[in-house]
Chain A
Amino acid sequence: MLINNEFNEQKIQSPLQYIWSIFRNKSIAVMSMWAVVTLIIIIIFCHYIIPYPPSLQHPNMLLLPPYWADGSEQAHLLGTDDLGRDTFSRLLKGVQLTLSGALLITLVISILGIIIGATAALTQGIKASVLHHFLDALLAIPTLLTALILIVLLGMSFENSLLAVSLSLLPQFIRGIYICIESELNKQYLIALRLDGATNIRLLRFGILPNIIEPLVTLLNRSFTMAILEITTLGFLGFGANMEEIELGVLISQNLDLVYLSPYLVLFPGLAIFIIIIIFNVFSEGIRHAVIEGEE
């Protein structure tokens, strides 16, 4: 916890610095952090990275395999599809749309979820009771069913599928936050804070939030994973993004007819989803371990 520099003065690290110093020493965690940074760079600068426009057709190069297989072209790194469109460019575009949608959903869910969950946990009486029963009912509906219903009610489009996925994942997140805060409220330091006369907001900001980082990271990771899986599932089923928008699930369903002719076209989008989820999982696991070690 103490840093000694050459002037022999002792500085006390802030908790965040301490967690960072633990995190920095784990090679897998740092690698996954750089992978996350790379993915975010891909999201932002996707337009400049891709070698060809995603809808540009090369009529004389149809269904090319990726570069390591026989009969491939060096110009198309991962081959082309049945209209001669470059798979690599389409894949990166798909990653951009899916990943940015999932990150947006996670952000919205975390803000709304913390507000609603904290309200349910910190207030008593009719507000908490109504919220509680309503959540119980919503939790009993499978997320895919909720998303399908919302899609039917709102109409099919990518934006509406994002809305549907975030609303269907919200109850689980709220319940998770609620359980965290509820178990935190019984601790001695929070009772002491209450006796000092802290308001609910102060209690939340200085008493509860710094102490629930570890379960919060797990919850965020879980909702991010589910968000990606559900966006791609809805896209795959044809309820999300339409055929012009390039999304990983849509890419899979578009190329499903070609699965025996050129299996790579189905293989790569699925692998992309898998790799994104793995990277974020390892990253959050690294943060979680650093937080746990920091608390001890």
Chain B
Amino acid sequence: MFNYFIRRFYLLTITAFILTLLAFIIEHWTAHSDINDNMIFHYWDYMLAIMQGEFGYSTIDNQPIIRVGLIAFASTLELCFFAFILAGLVGIPLGLFAGLKRNGGIDYCIMTLALIGLALPVFWVAILFTMLPNMGGWLMPIDGNISSIYEVPVVTGFLFIDSLLVSDKYQLDAFLNHLIHIILPSSVLAIFLISEIIRLTRHAVTMVMRTNYIKAAHAKGLTRSQVVYRHVLKNATPPIVHQLRLQISTIISFAMTIEIVFSYQGAGMWLFDSIQQGDYIALSTAILIISGFILLSTILVDLFLVIISPTIRKSFYADQ
């Protein structure tokens, strides 16, 4: 198993190397197109600078670009995480129902909902959601992360944590204000995620229900809920997690679109502003930050899968 992770780490380094190469090419084309220096020496300088954490300075406000980017991306992650919780709470039970009652009336209803959720254009739904408070008469903010009356200093970059850190000044008000700001954007993202999770769960549950150990469990006389909780859920989780891992980049690009509609200060808004103001150094930094996160998360998800699933563990022991 240790060998497996050494191998994964080795693959990660190669991929990271290619990513720095891509980021360098973009940086070279956009920001330094006038330099006629040797490309290889230039790349070497670029790598040295990156190793020391020198990504350059934003031309908009002269801040270190890596700091601006990381804070923005932290907001995006917060959005994705919140949407994930919402989607998991709704999507997994619905997918389970659909998978258990396959080809029944409930199944068709749920799958139709999932099909609609995947077909809706995200930015359009976001626009409709910005109109919802007006139509329903709710007092709900539709732009930004947090009301500007709260001065929250950046400590971790995650606003949920930062707003709790200033709780001696505002009590829980800053936290609740951020929470109410994040509900609408994350529910838009959750619509897509729910349909994706429903499809994956239904497929995984159907595959598990066909196996012999479920028949054996039924034959043992377990009730339906016992079978579901003891056998179906445990065996259906690894394929769902594995498939969701492949969807991370899609989820992040949807989140970036939603941010721009809600003017939520995340990675999408940051890139949008930077491109419109000609600050192209943000692009290469964004590649390094976002893709670096996705690479790291794939490794972490693999580790998680090994922890929760004995069958994957067994395959490691077998090849030693």
Binding site for B on A (CB under 8 A): 133-134, 136-137, 139-145, 148-149, 152-153, 225-226, 228-229, 232-233, 236-237, 239, 249, 252, 256, 259-260, 263, 266, 269-270, 273-274, 277-278, 281-282
Contact = CB atoms under 8 A, between A and B. Distances in A.
Contacts of B312: none
B59 interface: no
A288 to B, nearest CB: 13
Interface in B100-148: 115-116, 118-125, 127-128, 131, 134
Contact of B249 (A143, A239, A274, A281): A143
B96 interface: no
Interface stretch (B13-21, B172-180, B214-222): B13-21
A223 to B, nearest CB: 12
Quick one: which of B14, B123, B256, B287 has the most chain A CB within 10 A? Answer: B123
B207 to A, nearest CB: 15
Interface in B253-291: 253-254, 256-257, 260, 268, 271-272, 275, 280, 283, 286-287, 290-291
A145 B255 CA distance: 12
A229 B249 contact: no
Given A142-B249, A233-B123, 17 more contacts: A133-B18, A137-B22, A139-B249, A140-B291, A141-B287, A142-B253, A145-B253, A145-B287, A149-B283, A152-B275, A237-B272, A252-B127, A263-B131, A270-B121, A270-B125, A274-B119, A277-B119
B121 A232 contact: yes
B134 A273 contact: no
Contact of A148 (B14, B254, B275): B275
Contacts of B294: 140-142
B36 interface: no
Contacts of B29: 153
B16 to A, nearest CB: 8
The 7 A-B pairs with the shortest beta carbon distances in the complex, nearest first, are: A270-B124, A144-B253, A137-B18, A142-B253, A277-B119, A140-B291, A142-B249
B301 interface: no
Contacts of B85: none
B48 interface: no
Contacts of A226: 250
B26 interface: yes
A277 B122 CA distance: 13
B291 to A, nearest CB: 4
A139 B286 CA distance: 15
A218 to B, nearest CB: 11
Contacts of B283: 145, 148-149, 152
Contacts of A277: 118-119, 121
Interface in B215-236: none
Contacts of A225: 118-119
Interface residues of A, dominant DSSP? helix
Interface residues of B, number: 44
B115 A278 contact: yes
A195 to B, nearest CB: 27
Interface in B23-42: 26, 29-30
17 contacts: A133-B14, A136-B14, A136-B15, A137-B22, A141-B22, A141-B287, A142-B294, A144-B254, A145-B286, A145-B290, A152-B283, A233-B257, A256-B127, A260-B134, A270-B124, A274-B116, A281-B119
A228 B124 CA distance: 13
A273 B254 CA distance: 16
B184 interface: no
Contact of A266 (B30, B116, B127): B127
B290 A141 contact: yes
Contacts of B298: 140
Contacts of A282: 115
A149 B257 contact: no
A274 B291 contact: no
A152 B260 contact: no
A134 B18 contact: yes
B26 A233 contact: no
Nearest to B284: A149
B154 interface: no
Contacts of A145: 253, 256, 271, 283, 286-287, 290
Contact of A140 (B15, B119, B257): B15
A149 B287 contact: yes
B127 A141 contact: no
Given A136-B15, A153-B29, A252-B127, A142 B256 contact: yes
A140 B30 CA distance: 21
A237 B260 CA distance: 8
Contact of A278 (B116, B256, B287, B291): B116
B18 to A, nearest CB: 4
A140 to B, nearest CB: 4
A142 B127 contact: no
A111 to B, nearest CB: 23
Contacts of A249: 123
A45 B254 CA distance: 34
B5 to A, nearest CB: 17
Given A141-B290, A144-B257, A152-B275, A281 B127 contact: no
A149 B122 CA distance: 21
B11 interface: yes
B163 to A, nearest CB: 27
B89 interface: no
A249 B287 CA distance: 25
Contacts of B205: none
